[in-house]
Chain A
Amino acid sequence: MIGRIEFDIAHALSASVLLLSFALLYQRRVSGVIEAFALQAVAVAAAAAWQAFTQDAPHLYITALIALLFKAMVIPIALSRIVRKLGMHKTIETVLGVNLALLAGVGLVALSILLVFPATSVAAVLTRENLALALSIVLLGLLMMITRRNAVTQVIGFMSLENGLVLAAVGVKGMPLVVEMSIAFSVLIAFLVFGMFIFRIRERFDTLDLQYLEAFRGDHQSERS
């Protein structure tokens, strides 16, 4: 069994990842969202490194490194370049008010704790908490994707969702590296796809607000005419 202080630090790191998820929901500016996401990636990397240290599992250091390199540096830098290039420093259009989104977020956290705790009462305490936190981060990422209209923030929502998955994976002892690698690469690919997507939308419609796209979907044809 791990000691008290190890537990506290692991707990604090996971909690800061969750808090940064909330920070993502709270931010209104695209640049702010990107910064918060980079911070979250750093926190995930730290959490993975700490798990590698306490579990004595060196392969987790690689996970931490991937998170640090790609998610905390490459992707945010690339994204802010795109943002700057396209000149969209404006406030993000939200579907739900910020306060409502935050409250919904707290509700989701409570929900995931309610879900995980009774289901895994025999599991080790730390795993159980990590699982609850990871599930909330995943749900918050989804929430962000549905409450934001901007394509860039949707990409970030997706990637913060993936941060939750990584957090869940590193918390469980003996998770093979392959799984994490595949997750990491799938996200990278997703990022590339989204990046292409963003450029194409921009080229065509001069905006990244996805609301404008909805008018071009097939099922809306009748409404337009």
Chain B
Amino acid sequence: MLTAILVATAALVVLGPIGVARGRAAANLVHFGSIAATSVVLGHAVWFLFDGTPTTLTLPFGLPWLAAHFRIDALSAWFLSVISLVGLTAAIYGFGYIRHVDEPGRVLPFFPLFLAAMNLVLIADDAFTFLLSWECMSLASWFLVVANHRQPDNARAALVYLVMAVIGTSCLLLAFGIMAGFEGAYSFADMRAAPVTGRLGGLAVALVVIGAGSKAGLVPLHAWLPLAHPAAPSHISALMSGVMTKVAIYGLVRVMFDLAGDLGWGWGAVLLVLGGASAVLGILYALMQNDLKVLLAYSTVENVGIIVIGLGLALVFKANGLVGLAALAQVAALLHVLNHALFKSLLFFGSGCVLSATGERDMERLGGLIHRMPRTAFLFLVGSAAISALPPFNGFASEWLTFQAILNAPVLPQWVLKFGVPVVGALLALAAALAAACFVRAFGITFLGRPRSDAAAQAAEVEPAMWGAMAVLAACCLVLGVLPTAAIVPLNAVVRDLLGSPFPALSSGVAVHDFLFLAPLEPGRSSYSGLLVLAVVALVTWVVARCAHRLASPQVRRGPPWDCGFPDPQPATQYTASSFAQPIRRVYGTLIFRARERVDMPEPGDSRPARFAVHLIDPAWEAFYAPIERGVAAATARANVLQFLTIRRYLSPVFAALIALLCIVVLAK
């Protein structure tokens, strides 16, 4: 299996250079090749989850004394399947979308490379391969972010992304250096066998949380994400938001549950705080955005927060020896990894459809698209319902499991956790409700109402390849919402590997009942059945509709809107994205974003237009990013001097570095 996955990944690497060639044939080849390769990886990863034993493989690449180690286990197989599934649909989507991209030559080569790099991160089994693949992943995605480099905003986004990627990777580099120790045990097997403990171990974990957390978009390290993800072409945005953040989550899980040994509950509490803050702040930021793709990117921050809450709970339960509950929490987190990958990609694809049909990303200039693009609208609605955690879609299944884990917090012995976890639960509920508001707004303003611009009024439905890819994802969202056990059975292998305990409900085998009802702990305590809910609601809806048409008056008359007797035909009288967000901005935003509204209302008789402006401040940007940005700007200005030196002066810093390293070696001995 591992060999097949490696071969498919190598094929993706080969496909990259082909993309440089111009013409439709090259584009088709890249996309067909990617579809084939991701299908192979997907098939093997899923096969592994049901029936596979961890396999290792060593290839003579890399450093002279360190061959490249690869390994597949249940955890990597789970993430591989998530990534390949989304990669597959992105490749299908790419067939249609690439026609709307200005310079396909800037996108095509990096698309398969990006996929290949993510695969390699997941199967890497030594620090060197891991970091190399991680960096390749960052670089490939960076090239995709700058693909659309003619827009001035994108250049800045690319710069911030590059800086953050470098900072993140250097944190990981240091962390792995610490975990490898002075003996240089860089393979993961060695690290697992002898985890670094004490203060040094804590430092390594902290660095991983910073490095992987910034890639995943955890608050307060998230600010690059909503700049970079929307700047890329939409199917790449889907990959970055839906999948690359998951690779970062993989790094987090790999280190915190596998390589770093037994961590104390304190690290779980750290994850809970970071996750809770990300969930609420991420979705609040999203609610304030008018740009559809930026909104989706911010909502990624929220969902990463939900995943991290689940991981934090798993860590807390594990540290207290409650492995069954830990398994529940981790299943919830990893299920949300899959679910978020599905619906976030679906929504980014949808935003790509809107963008290619209208040329607009600003919701204030959209509206009424449900009439012009019915398929896109329907599929986007499915994605919106799923991401808002509404039954019977998949987002609800994983959030419901997370809530069940939270409700078991009272068994924890630590008082801080007894009080803290319910607060995190309240934050999670708040985030879920805000997400519903956010996506009512996103869907309602973009697709419903009346068109706010000519471009929206003239839009046309997109190619079948594009909505077809979305339909696949939407179907997955519904199936996983109705039968979440289908995903929990393979996940069971993952948690049994990592925690040594199966998902509590599946500890004595899988029965039909488990597919019908999701009852994580004991039957009769708490249960949910998406299938029953969907079946009954569908049946009742059908019966009610039949009865209403039979027994009640079936007539329908079309007329102008009622609107309390004062319908105004101008589309400007509709609620806008900003006005929809106003109550929430007023309740939550004044505190968190120091939101200020300025209304400039002319005197009666004055003919100038009234103006309304909202001013928001991102506290995380102020506190963390602005200093880094200033520092980088100053450092590059300083470093610019280096461009005009003599050879002697070039050599002296190299020499100094060499001597310093030698000194360290001497001192270490």
Q: Bound pair: A and B?
A: yes
A114 near B415 (CB under 8 angstroms)? yes
Pair A117/B415 contact, Cβ less than 8 Å: yes
Q: Are B415's CB and A118's CB within 8 A?
A: yes
Minimal beta-carbon separation of B427 from chain A (angstroms): 12
Verify if A9 is at the interface (C-beta below 8 Å from B). Answer: no
- State how many angstroms separate the Cβ of B560 from the closest Cβ of chain A: 42
| Nearest chain A residue, comparing its CB with the CB of B415 | A114
When the two chains form their complex, are residues B591 and A114 in contact, meaning their CB atoms are under 8 A apart?
A: no
Check A97 against B415 for contact (C-beta < 8 Å). Answer: no
Is A5 close to B, CB under 8 A? no
Residues of B within 8 A of A113 (CB): 415, 419
| Contact partners of A110 in chain B: CB under 8 A | 419
The answer to the question of A2 belonging to the interface, with a C-beta cut-off of 8 Å to chain B, is: no
Residue A100 CB within 8 A of the other chain: yes
Name B411-447 residues within 8 Å CB distance of A: 415-416, 419
Residues of A within 8 A of B591 (CB): 97, 100
Instruction: Report the separation of the CA atoms of residues A97 and B586 in the bound assembly, to the nearest whole angstrom.
Output: 13
Chain A nearest CB from B589 CB (Å) reads 13
A118 to B419, CA, bound (A): 14
Point out the residues of chain A lying under 8 angstroms from B415, CB to CB.
113-114, 117-118
0 or 1 for each of A96-130: is its CB under 8 Å from B? (1 = yes): 01001000000000100110011000000000000
Q: Which residues of A contact B416 (CB under 8 A)?
A: 114
| Contact flags B395-415 to A (C-beta < 8 A → 1, else 0) | 000000000000000000001
Which B residue sits closest to A111, measured CB to CB? B419
Closest beta carbon of chain B to A208's beta carbon, Å: 27
Main SS of chain B's interface residues? helix
Cα-based distance from A159 to B559 in the complex (angstroms): 65
Q: Which of A100, A110, A113 has the most CB of B within 10 A?
A: A110
Closest CB in chain A relative to B313 CB, distance in Å:
19
Query: Which single residue of chain A is at the shortest CB-CB distance from B416?
Result: A114
- Contacting B at CB under 8 A, from A64-109, are 97, 100
Smallest Cβ-Cβ distance to B590: which chain A residue: A97
Please name the residue on chain B nearest to A114 by beta carbon. Answer: B415
Complex CA distance for A113 and B591, rounded to whole angstroms: 28
Residue of B nearest to A103 (CB): B423
Q: Which of B567-598 contact A (CB under 8 A)?
A: 591
CA distance A114 to B416 in the complex (A): 8
Q: Write the nearest CB–CB distance from A96 to chain B, whole angstroms.
A: 10
Q: How far, in whole Å, are A110 and B415 apart by their CA atoms in the complex?
A: 10
Cα–Cα distance between A180 and B591 once the two chains are bound (Å): 42
Chain B residues whose CB sits within 8 angstroms of the CB of A114 once the complex forms: 415-416, 419
Chain B residues closer than 8 Å to A100, beta-carbon distance: 591
Report the minimal beta-carbon distance from B277 to chain A, rounded to whole angstroms.
15
Q: How far is the CB of B437 from chain A (nearest CB, A)?
A: 18
List the B side residues contacting A117 at CB < 8 Å.
415
User: What's the least CB distance linking B25 to chain A, in Å?
Assistant: 62
User: Chain B nearest CB: distance from A115 CB in Å?
Assistant: 10
Q: Report A191 CB to chain B, min CB distance, Å.
A: 35
Residues of chain A lying within 8 A (CB to CB) of residue B419: 110, 113-114
How close is A120's CB to chain B, nearest CB, in angstroms? Answer: 13
In the assembled complex, the Cα of A82 lies from the Cα of B415 at a distance in Å of 45
Select from chain A the residue with minimum beta-carbon distance to B588. A99
Q: How far is the CA of A120 from the CA of B419 in the complex (A)?
A: 19
In the complex, which residue of chain B has the Cβ closest to the Cβ of A118? B415
> Closest chain B residue to A100 by CB distance?
B591
Question: Which chain B residues numbered 589 to 648 have a C-beta less than 8 Å away from chain A?
Answer: 591
Cα(A118)–Cα(B416), bound, Å: 12
The answer for the CA separation of A113 and B415 in the assembled complex, in Å, is 9
A100, B592: Cα distance in complex, Å:
12
Cα-based distance from A118 to B413 in the complex (angstroms): 12
Cα distance A97–B415 in the bound complex, in angstroms: 28
Complex CA distance for A30 and B415, rounded to whole angstroms: 37
A114 to B591, CA, bound (A): 28
- CB closest chain-B residue, reference A106: B423
Min CB distance A131 to B, Å, is 16
Q: Which residue of B lies closest to A97 (CB)?
A: B591
- The A144-190 residues at the B interface (CB cut-off 8 A) are none
For A118, the chain B residues whose CB sits under 8 A away are: 415
Contact bitstring B161-187, A, C-beta under 8 A = 1, else 0: 000000000000000000000000000
Given the complex of chains A and B, what is the CA–CA distance between A114 and B419 in angstroms? 9
Q: Report the nearest A residue to B587, measured CB to CB.
A: A99
Q: How far is the CA of A97 from the CA of B419 in the complex (A)?
A: 23
Q: Kindly state the separation between the CA atoms of A114 and B417 in the bound complex, as whole angstroms.
A: 11
Q: How far is the CB of A44 from chain B (nearest CB, A)?
A: 26
CA distance A114 to B418 in the complex (A): 10
Q: How far is the CA of A114 from the CA of B415 in the complex (A)?
A: 7
- How distant is the Cα of A117 from the Cα of B416 in the complex, in angstroms? 12
Report B519 CB to chain A, min CB distance, Å: 32
Q: How far is the CB of A107 from chain B (nearest CB, A)?
A: 9
Complex Cα gap A110–B420 (Å)? 10
A132 → B minimal CB distance (Å): 12
How near does chain A come to B582, taking the closest CB pair, in angstroms?
A: 18
Interface flags for A4-45 (1: CB within 8 Å of B; 0: not) read 000000000000000000000000000000000000000000
**Shortest CB distance A205–B (Å):** 30
Q: Type the 1/0 row for A211-222, where 1 means its CB is closer than 8 Å to any CB of B.
A: 000000000000
Q: How far is the CA of A100 from the CA of B590 in the complex (A)?
A: 12
The distance in angstroms between the C-alpha atoms of A113 and B416, with both chains bound, is 11
**Chain A min CB distance to B643 (Å):** 51
A57 to B419, CA, bound (A): 36
Cα A114 to Cα B420 in complex, Å, equals 12
- Report the minimum CB–CB distance from B118 to chain A (whole Å): 41
Measured in the bound complex, the distance between the Cα atoms of B419 and A113 in whole Å is 10
The distance from the CB of B579 to the nearest CB of chain A, in whole angstroms, is 23
Q: How far is it, in angstroms, between the C-alpha of A155 and the C-alpha of B595 when the chains are bound? A: 34
Cα distance A31–B11 in the bound complex, in angstroms: 78
- CB proximity of A89 to chain B, nearest CB, Å: 27
Docked Cα-Cα span, A222 to B591, in Å, equals 31
Which of B416, B419, B591 has the most C-beta atoms of chain A within 10 angstroms of its own C-beta? B419
Which chain B positions have C-beta within 8 A of A97?
Answer: 591
A69 nearest CB across to chain B (Å): 38
A110 to B426, CA, bound (A): 15
How far is B80's CA from A80's CA once the two chains are assembled, in angstroms? 71
**Interchain CA distance A82-B591 in the complex, whole Å:** 35
The answer for the CA separation of A110 and B416 in the assembled complex, in Å, is 9
B291 CB, nearest partner CB in chain A, Å: 30
Encode B58-100 as 1/0 by CB contact (under 8 A) with A. 0000000000000000000000000000000000000000000
- By beta carbon, the residue of chain B nearest A117 is B415
Alpha-carbon distance A185/B416, docked complex (angstroms): 39
> Roughly how many angstroms separate A118 CA and B415 CA in the complex, as a whole number?
9
Min Cβ gap B410→A in Å is 14
With both chains docked as a complex, state the minimum distance between the C-beta of A117 and any C-beta of chain B, in angstroms.
Answer: 7
Q: How far is the CB of B174 from chain A (nearest CB, A)?
A: 35
> For the complex, what is the distance from the CA of A97 to the CA of B590, rounded to whole Å?
11
Closest-by-CB residue of A relative to B419 is: A110
**Bound: A97/B588 CA distance, A:** 12
Task: State in angstroms the CA–CA spacing of A59 and B55 once bound together.
Answer: 79
Q: State the CA gap A117–B591 with chains docked (Å).
A: 33
Closest Cβ of chain B to A19, distance in Å, is 19
| A109 closest partner in B (C-beta) | B419
Chosen A-B contacts, 10 in total, with CB atoms closer than 8 Å, are A97-B591, A100-B591, A110-B419, A113-B415, A113-B419, A114-B415, A114-B416, A114-B419, A117-B415, A118-B415
Sorted nearest first, the 6 A-B pairs with minimum C-beta distance are A110-B419, A114-B415, A117-B415, A114-B419, A118-B415, A114-B416
Chain A residues in contact with chain B, CB under 8 A? 97, 100, 110, 113-114, 117-118
Q: A110-B419, A113-B419 are in contact. List 7 more A-B contacts (CB 8 A).
A: A97-B591, A100-B591, A113-B415, A114-B415, A114-B416, A114-B419, A117-B415
